[in-house]
Structure 1
Amino acid sequence: MSGKIVFFEGRNFQGRSYECADDCSEIASHLSRCSSCRVESGTFMVYEQPNYTGQQHLLTRGEYPEYQNTIGFNDCVQSCRIVPVHQGPFKMRIYERADFEGQTQDLTDDCDSIQDRHHMADVQSCNVTEGHWLMFEQPNYEGRMFYLKPGKYRNLREMSNDDTRFNSIRRITES
């Protein structure tokens, strides 16, 4: 894993800064607030709340002078995770119901509409065996997104803390 992100207290890269090359569960322990950032290398998931919770967004190399207009956050970034570069195949099995029950589908590529392509009304659990993925609440990779790294997810609704339905899935191929 190699990446570097620099957080700034003020908008437009102003004020004190904090450089990060790994996961950080609480940016507030380094800065009083975080209102802009610059991704110098790598790919990062940033979260609106500490401990990798709340609304999340994928950031690739570039400058983010303020979050409200660029990524849709109302306030500031509170935590971040580096997304490892994945080389090789991508594989995930999705399930219609929680606890790996109901209709299943194996995915190895992006899916812009789970309902249209796989005739599944909902996805409530999954097993990510290879690669890193983003699930979206709306078709065509729109709406809130949720980061999935390899592992078993028995109840995806617990991740969103509400009745979110997942309607599209995309592989994270940025590096």
Structure 2
Amino acid sequence: MSDCSDLSSYFSRCNSIRVESGCFMIYERSNYMGHQYFMSRGEYPDYQRWMGMSDSIRSCRMIPMMMELMDDCPNFMDRFRWSDVHSCNVMDGHWLFYDQPNYRGRMYYMRPGEYRRYSDWGGMSSRIGSIRRIMDY
């Protein structure tokens, strides 16, 4: 999921929400306007559960997360409960990102530096399946 400034083409009313991972701000009106509500992981069976004034949700914004990784990760989704990486700052070492779990699929070489978006490392999407540090020199 990513930011969406206008949800009206997807639904007209929102009676329940389930957040499986991450945190979001949802807004009563398009373009991130109106009442806003913080959503974290959990079930919201009706708009009163998120302290909403009505069932109108017209835009949402993802709240970015930051994490530190220092070892290999064969399955990104199993470990972190999400698989999208939108930016990365490699502080030390050289790494390989793979778009599928268990070090399979398209591979991306990451050296120390800042990658502000997945296209900076040559990615076709933000999806990451596994990560391995290069130790053989």
Q: TM-score, normalised by structure 1?
A: 0.40
Alignment of 1:113 onto 2:80? no
Distance 2:65 2:97 in 1: 18
Pick closer, same or farther for the CA change 1:167–1:117 going to 2, 3 Å.
same
1:121-158 Cα deviation digits (max 9, x unpaired): 31111110010000000001000100000001000134
Alignment of 1:151 onto 2:121? no
1:161: how far off? 5.6
Distance 2:71 2:121 in 1: 22
1:13-71 Cα deviation digits (max 9, x unpaired): xxxxxxxxxxxxxxxxxxxxxxxxxxxxxxxxxxxxxxxxxxxxxxxxxxxxxxxxxxx
| Correspondence list, 1:1-175, <5 A | 102-160=64-122, 162-163=124-125, 165-175=127-137
Cα RMSD of the aligned pairs, angstroms, is 1.7
2:78 aligned partner, one-letter code: D
Structure with more contact order per residue of length (Cα contacts < 8 Å, sep ≥ 6): 2
Aligned length in residues: 75
8 Å contact from structure 2 (residues 75, 130) kept in 1: yes
Structure with greater helix share of residues: 1
Distance 2:69 2:123 in 1: 25
Structure with greater strand share of residues: 1
Distance 1:106 1:161 in 2: 20
Q: TM-score, normalised by structure 2?
A: 0.50
Percent identity, please.
Answer: 45
Structure 1, unaligned stretches of length 5 or more? 1-100
Structure 2, unaligned stretches of length 5 or more? 1-62
